[in-house]
Structures are given as structure tokens and as C-alpha cells.
């Protein structure tokens, strides 16, 4: 099982039918969590940064976008098991692969040898051929989306980018993105604003393999404009690639999409009987690849059906509503969700539920309240032995009781007024200050004690949904704070402008490639800081939650 970090404040504890047990990491599109399905099987759950509109149509477009991806099982891919929306947050459930990403492995241990790169080339070509055969396009193949499991490489995040396109209605690259890393493996046509089709995946396949062979992006990792220029017009250096791959990599990196081989064409060239690669690959991989290349593989079977909680997919949300055909619901009310109390597997797909109100009134049926049974028409009603019959009470007695009860209520109200209103004045403590923290609006001229410490978290770009880590250190009584962008290797300074005990407005000064701007840091009731950056005069911005380290 992959090693997971503890959940942070604000992380979900459950998404649909899946329990969340730990945090695996944060990427450009979302946070990835370790989870378990209702049967206890380990899964990976990716909670996307983007928020949907909440309309049923948006949810429908999102889930429908994964139909092709869910038809792919095996073929060097991490199977997509489920996709849905909870509280306007979209999530994707996939097979959990126990192993690092190619990006992580190369960053930690350096470039891979020729044998590993060759195995990656064939395995990822098999995955692409299966994806394209199912009618899907990856859109975002890169080293971070290649997981290295015990049984070989597996391509993940299939269909995620396409689903976001389907919901947001925008397939173009956003040139204002603060994180340039998402450009490094894009095809020229994607950077030109054209739709990403299968040839773009082939270009990304070749770029990913060059990263594995060299330890660096094939078109450099400079500024966004420099990266775009090189992808559009320059040819990468292929000298570090294995000899058996150099020619097919050059073809896959053609600037013209029509000039690139298809994924099936890649397999034909890689596994040619007269070539050297087939003899060095596992026999099962060769057989699978050749069958895909020949188009002789039967349509992949969908992954086994997950035993989902039926309450996660109900069409309506109710809370204690009484109707003829309604299931008891309880808990937080969320859009398009009904949690079913006590839904238990009954075998053969049947689900046993407990109804709040029976459809018919059977006089012989048990009473809804345990311990009481239905009244028999032939039997006189029973009275509780603990209380006298109200029928026997006389009106004067009731009147006396009413007067006594009124006096008791009046005394209680008087005591409450004294406790809530007069007592602070009697103590003379009307000048006591509320504790510093969330919601404290008293103005300050320096960093207050409530902000002191080092805070870390993940920021999300408002336009591109790219994410990146951030660290901020505040000192009590200071007028500046230190900010660090570990991924971009930028160190900046936040200068106090105005604020209260719960919210600070600061000016960020930071060198390139990071960008200066205006920052607002606000304490939240859960103890985190909401950190929001904007650049005045533009629509640029990013924000996220920071937790005290």
C-alpha cells in the first residue's frame, strides 16, 4: 500500500462511497488521497481543484466524459473506477498503484538507463493505443502521470483533462498561468489553441521518454515564453535516447500532427519482428502490443463493478420528508445526494433499506416505535400506569398548575436576563477584550500574535487550476514576513499595509520567475489561514489554505 501523509484540516474524510484515509500528494489538477471502497479495497481518489456550477447538467457532463476511460482495463493503465461530484467538487476514483511517479523517481535518482527507457516506451505506447482505441484522449501525458508499479509502468489521470474541458468548455492553453511546468510536455498544436487529439498524446509520449533518458524536460525549463518558443520551432537533442528508440522518437516529435505516427504505428515500429526491442520485452507485453497494433484485441472489459453505497447516487435529497415512497435520510444535505440509513447488502445486487413511513397501514404490523404495538380495535386502549388519566383531572387543578408553571417560566426568564445582560455590568468587566483570532476585527499596525509562526500549504491558480506549495513565516510585532515558493525557488517579502487581528493586507515583493502582487491573509475558524494573491489591474490570482507547521 502506498505511504500516505496524514489528512490536513479541510481535507475530506469521505467522498461518495469512498472513505478517505490519507493524503498522497497535490498536483496541477487536484489533490490525491488514499481511500477505500465499500468492500475495503484500496483506491486512489483525486479531488479536483475546480468547482462545478452545482447544476445537474454540469455533473452529467463531467461523469459522461469518463465513459470512454472506464472502458479501458489493463493495458498498462491505472483503471478509472468512478467519477462523480460532491458539494460542487469533482472527484475521480482509480486503481491505486503502489509505486512512485516517473517524475519523482527521476528527480530523486536521476536519468534511467536504456533498458528502463525501452520498457517505458513500449508500455506507454500500449497504454496510448488502448486509450485511443476506446475513443479517449489523455490530453496531459507527462512524467507525473506515469506510475511505476511492481508490474511495470501504468498511465494514470486518463480522461481528467477531457472531463474538465467538457465542464468548463475551454480547451485552450491559458498563457497567464503562474506555473509554467504544465507546458513542458504539450504539443505545438495545443500551445496554438487547437484541440488536443491523439497526435498530441504521441508528442507527449516522446517528450516523456526523453525526460526519463536525460533527467530534464526535452525543451528546457525556462520561462513560459522560452518553453513555447522551443516547442513550436526547435528540435530536441536525441543523443541521450537509446539507439533503438531514436528514430521513432524523432517521428513522434514532428511539429505537424499529421506527420506523427499513431499509437498503433508506434507499436508496429517498436515491436517489429525484425527489430531488437521485442526480444528484450516481456512476452505478455509483446503479445498485447502486437494485438493492439493489429486491431485484433477484443474490446477491453470494464473494471469490476464497485459495490457502491446506493445513497451516494440518489437523484434527490431529503431530510425527514414524509412521502409514500421515500427512504429515511439523515446527515448533511448535499446536492444530488441522499444518504440511506442502514443500507445493507442483501445479495444479488439487492439492497435492504429501512423505510421511515410504510406505504400501507397494516393494523397487525409492529408499531414504528419499538416496544409499542398497533392498537387492536377489539381491545380497549391501554393507559400508561405511570401517569394519571388526563380525563380525570378537574379544570381548577389545571388552572393552578398553569399558574405555577407560568411563575416558574417567569423566574427562569428573569435569571437568564440577569446572567446574559446584567452580570457583566455588575462585574464591571465591560471593557474585557475578545480573544485574538478568527473574526477579531480590532485594527493592528504590526503582525499580531495570532499570525505568528511558519505556515505551509498548497496554492491553486484561479485561471489554470495549477497548484504549487507555499511557505510563509510571520513574526509577532514585525511589519514584514518571509514567503518561500519551494517549487519555483523564489524567496520574497510580504510588507504589512493594514489589517486586524484576523486579517492582514500585505504587498508581495518577489524576484522572477515569481510575480509580485497584493496578498490578503485571513484567519479561518478551523485554525488555518486563507492566503489569496492577486495582481492589481489583471484577472490573475491564486489562493489556498495554510496550516501552522
Question: Could you tell me if 94 and 81 are in contact, meaning their C-beta atoms sit under 8 angstroms apart?
Answer: yes
The C-alpha cell at 255 is 511539429
Question: How many CA within 13 A on the CB side of residue 95?
Answer: 23
The C-alpha cell at 275 is 527489430
CA–CA–CA angle 403, 409, 412 (5° rounding): 145
Question: Could you tell me if 505 and 513 are in contact, meaning their C-beta atoms sit under 8 angstroms apart?
Answer: no
The C-alpha cell at 320 is 425527514
Number of H helices, E strands in the chain: 13, 18
**Spatial distance between the Cα atoms of 78 and 157, rounded to a whole number of angstroms:** 8
- Name the region of 493 (left: φ>0; alpha: ψ -120 to 50; beta: rest): beta
- CB burial of 18-38 (b: ≥16 within 10 Å; e: otherwise) equals bbbbebbebbbbbbbbbbbbb
**Which residues does residue 19 pair with via DSSP β-bridges, in sequence order?**
14, 36
Query: Of residues 37, 82, 140, 309, which has the active-site annotation?
Result: 140
* DSSP result, 476-514: TT-SEEEEEETTTTEEEEEEEEEEBSSEEEEEEE--TTS
Can you give 403-421 as a three-state secondary structure string?
HHHHHHHHHHHHHHHHHHH
3-class secondary structure, 133: helix
3-class secondary structure, 94: strand
Question: Could you tell me if 464 and 180 are in contact, meaning their C-beta atoms sit under 8 angstroms apart?
Answer: no
Question: Could you tell me if 147 and 156 are in contact, meaning their C-beta atoms sit under 8 angstroms apart?
Answer: yes
Longest dimension (CA), the chain: 110
Reply yes or no on whether 256 is catalytic: no
DSSP 8-state symbol, 233:
H
Question: Could you tell me if 224 and 267 are in contact, meaning their C-beta atoms sit under 8 angstroms apart?
Answer: no
Question: Could you tell me if 286 and 278 are in contact, meaning their C-beta atoms sit under 8 angstroms apart?
Answer: yes
Active site residues: 140
Amino acid at each position: 500500500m502506498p505511504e500516505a501523509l496524514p489528512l490536513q484540516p479541510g481535507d475530506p474524510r469521505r467522498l461518495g462511497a469512498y472513505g478517505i484515509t490519507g493524503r498522497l500528494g497535490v498536483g496541477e489538477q487536484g489533490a490525491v488521497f488514499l481511500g477505500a471502497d465499500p468492500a475495503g479495497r484500496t483506491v486512489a481518489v483525486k479531488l479536483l481543484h475546480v468547482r462545478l456550477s452545482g447544476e445537474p447538467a454540469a455533473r452529467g457532463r463531467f461523469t459522461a466524459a469518463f465513459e470512454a476511460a472506464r472502458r479501458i482495463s489493463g493495458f498498462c493503465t491505472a483503471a478509472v473506477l468512478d467519477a462523480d461530484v460532491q458539494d460542487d467538487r469533482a472527484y475521480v476514483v482509480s486503481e491505486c498503484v503502489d509505486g512512485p511517479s516517473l517524475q519523482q523517481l527521476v528527480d530523486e535518482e536521476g536519468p534511467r538507463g536504456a533498458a528502463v527507457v525501452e520498457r517505458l516506451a513500449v508500455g506507454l505506447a500500449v497504454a496510448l493505443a488502448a486509450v485511443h482505441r476506446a475513443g479517449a484522449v489523455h490530453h496531459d501525458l507527462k512524467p507525473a502521470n506515469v506510475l511505476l508499479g511492481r508490474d511495470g509502468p501504468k498511465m494514470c489521470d486518463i480522461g481528467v483533462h477531457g472531463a474538465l474541458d467538457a465542464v468548463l468548455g475551454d480547451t485552450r492553453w491559458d498563457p497567464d498561468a503562474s506555473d509554467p511546468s504544465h507546458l513542458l510536455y504539450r504539443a505545438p498544436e495545443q500551445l496554438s489553441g487547437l484541440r488536443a487529439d491523439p497526435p498530441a498524446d504521441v508528442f507527449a509520449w516522446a517528450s516523456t521518454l526523453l525526460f526519463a533518458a536525460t533527467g530534464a524536460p526535452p525543451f528546457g525549463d525556462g520561462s513560459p515564453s522560452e518553453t513555447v518558443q522551443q516547442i513550436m520551432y526547435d528540435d530536441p537533442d536525441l543523443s541521450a535516447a537509446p539507439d533503438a528508440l531514436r528514430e521513432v522518437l524523432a517521428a513522434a516529435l514532428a511539429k505537424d500532427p499529421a506527420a506523427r505516427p499513431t499509437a498503433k504505428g508506434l507499436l508496429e515500429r517498436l515491436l517489429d519482428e525484425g527489430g531488437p526491442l521485442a526480444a528484450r520485452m516481456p512476452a505478455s507485453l509483446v503479445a498485447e502490443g502486437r494485438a493492439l497494433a493489429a486491431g485484433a484485441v477484443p474490446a477491453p472489459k470494464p473494471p469490476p463493478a464497485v459495490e457502491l453505497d446506493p445513497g451516494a447516487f440518489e437523484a434527490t435529497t431529503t431530510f425527514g420528508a414524509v412521502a409514500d415512497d421515500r427512504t429515511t435520510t439523515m446527515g448533511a444535505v448535499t446536492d444530488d445526494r441522499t444518504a440511506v440509513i442502514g443500507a445493507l447488502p442483501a445479495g444479488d445486487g439487492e439492497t435492504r433499506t429501512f423505510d421511515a413511513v410504510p406505504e400501507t397501514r397494516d393494523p397487525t404490523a409492529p408499531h414504528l416505535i419499538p416496544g409499542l404495538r398497533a392498537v387492536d380495535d377489539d381491545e380497549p386502549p391501554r393507559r400508561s400506569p405511570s401517569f394519571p388519566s388526563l380525563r380525570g383531572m378537574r379544570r381548577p387543578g389545571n388552572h393552578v398548575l398553569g399558574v405555577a408553571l407560568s411563575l416558574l417560566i417567569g423566574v427562569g426568564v428573569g435569571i437568564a436576563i440577569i446572567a446574559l445582560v446584567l452580570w457583566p455590568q455588575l462585574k464591571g468587566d465591560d471593557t474585557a477584550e475578545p480573544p485574538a483570532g478568527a473574526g477579531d476585527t480590532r485594527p493592528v499596525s504590526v503582525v499580531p500574535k495570532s499570525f505568528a509562526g511558519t505556515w505551509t500549504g498548497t496554492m491553486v491558480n484561479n485561471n489554470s487550476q495549477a497548484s504549487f506549495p507555499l511557505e510563509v513565516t510571520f513574526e509577532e510585532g514585525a511589519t514584514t514576513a518571509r514567503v518561500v515558493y519551494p517549487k519555483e525557488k523564489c524567496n520574497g517579502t510580504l510588507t504589512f499595509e493594514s489589517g486586524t487581528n484576523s486579517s492582514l493586507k500585505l504587498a508581495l515583493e518577489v524576484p522572477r520567475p515569481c510575480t509580485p502582487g497584493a496578498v490578503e491573509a485571513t484567519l479561518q475558524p478551523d485554525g488555518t489561514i486563507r492566503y489569496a494573491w492577486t495582481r492589481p489591474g489583471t484577472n490573475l490570482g491564486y489562493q489556498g489554505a495554510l496550516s501552522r507547521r
